[in-house]
Amino acid sequence: YIVTIRVKPDHSGVVTDGVKHSMNPFCEIAVEEAVKLKEKKFIKEVVAVSCGPTQVTETIRTALAMGCDRGIHVEVSGKDYEAMGPLQIAKIFAALAKKEEASLVILGKQAIDDDCNQTGQMTAALLDWPQGTFASEVTIDGEKVKVVREIDGGLETIKISMPAVLTADLRLNTPRYATLPNIMKAKKKKIANMKPADLGVDMVSRVEVLRVDEPPTRLAGVKVETVDDLVAKLKANGTI
């Protein structure tokens, strides 16, 4: 994920052409958790979903190689893709969860490009389902799910009924590698293709990005010799 991003010359966003896109690390953890649940026989089938242009099928294949059973590619491209945000994605996920009669929707807690941390919560709200966010431990107990959540104060344990939305935090698990034999086998697994309109979702965004800029260059620090110097300088620039 170490890519030097560049702001587009017209300041409308960042350059994404030719930049390698890979599965969001928190989503990798989510996929791993889903596959683990299936291996422990708590769930029957794992469906991997991604919204975006053609290239996202590569990411879906990685999820299939990790152990998901089938994939769904919701095609969004061009201006719709540039304007796509958590609300639009949450609407798509909510529609799919209903259509597929899912008992769990598991996502990464946030995407590391925009750090919004909204999609999971919005999906739960649209579905009116309980949510177990920032999960660092997930245990299924009959029709309920026990979730240990990482919160600012420590760990919080809740019990919620299914169907539910869970979002994965860092310590939930260590994702397995997608090995080459599994990538080859994944080519035989199905990826269904559909558009947001097929799910009755309109992609109109209520957010308009006016301008994207790089953060201002950090100015060099100044070393001072004594505490008096420090106080004098802080007074001089108006800090105190």
Partner 1 sequence: GPHFISFLASPSALTGSALFFHYTWRRNCSSAVMPRITSHYTIFPRDKDPRWEGVEMERFADEADVVIVGGGPAGLSAAIRLKQLAKEQEKELRVCLVEKASQIGAHTLSGACLEPSALNELFPDWKERGAPLNTPVTEDLFSILTEKYRIPVPMLPGLPMNNHGNYIVRLGHFVHWLGEQAEELGVEIYPGYAAAEVLFHEDGSVKGIATNDVGIAKDGSPKDVFERGMELHAKVTLFGEGCHGHLAKQLYRQFNLRENCEPQTYAIGLKELWVIDEKKWRPGRVEHSVGWPLNRNTYGGSFLYHLNEGEPLVALGFVVGLDYTNPYLSPFREFQRWKHHPFVAKTLEGGDRIAYGARALNEGGYQCLPKVTFPGGMLIGCSPGFMNVPKIKGTHTAMKSGMLAAEAIFPKVTAEDPASETAGLHIPEYEDNLKKSWIWKELYAVRNIRPSFHNYFGLYGGMVYTGVFYWILRGKEPWTLKHAGLDSAQLKPAKECTPIEYPKPDGKLSFDLLSSVALSGTNHEGDQPPHLTLKDDSIPVANNLAIYDGPEQRFCPAGVYEYVPLETGEGMRLQINAQNCVHCKTCDIKDPSQNINWVVPEGSGGPAYNGL
Angle among Cα 88, 15, 217 to the nearest 5 degrees reads 110
Rounded to 10 degrees, the C-alpha dihedral 31/32/38/39 comes to 160
Total residue count of the chain as it appears in this document: 240
CB of 186 to partner 1, least distance (A): 12
Should residue 212 be labelled a site residue for partner 1 when binding is judged by CB under 8 A? no
Cβ neighbourhood burial of 4 (10 Å; 0-12, 13-18, 19+): exposed
Note whether 18 binds partner 1 by CB under 8 A: yes
User: With CB under 8 A, what is the number of residues at the site for partner 1?
Assistant: 19
Contact predicate 7/15, CB 8 Å: yes
CB of 126 to partner 1, least distance (A): 34
Stretch that binds partner 1, among 15-23, 43-51, 95-103, 225-233 (CB under 8 A): 15-23
219 interacts with partner 1 by CB under 8 A: no
**Of 78, 181, 215, 238, which lies in the binding site for partner 1, with binding defined by CB under 8 A?**
181
- Smallest gap from Cβ 184 to partner 1, in A, equals 7
Return d(Cα 67, Cα 40) in angstroms, integer: 13
174 interacts with partner 1 by CB under 8 A: yes
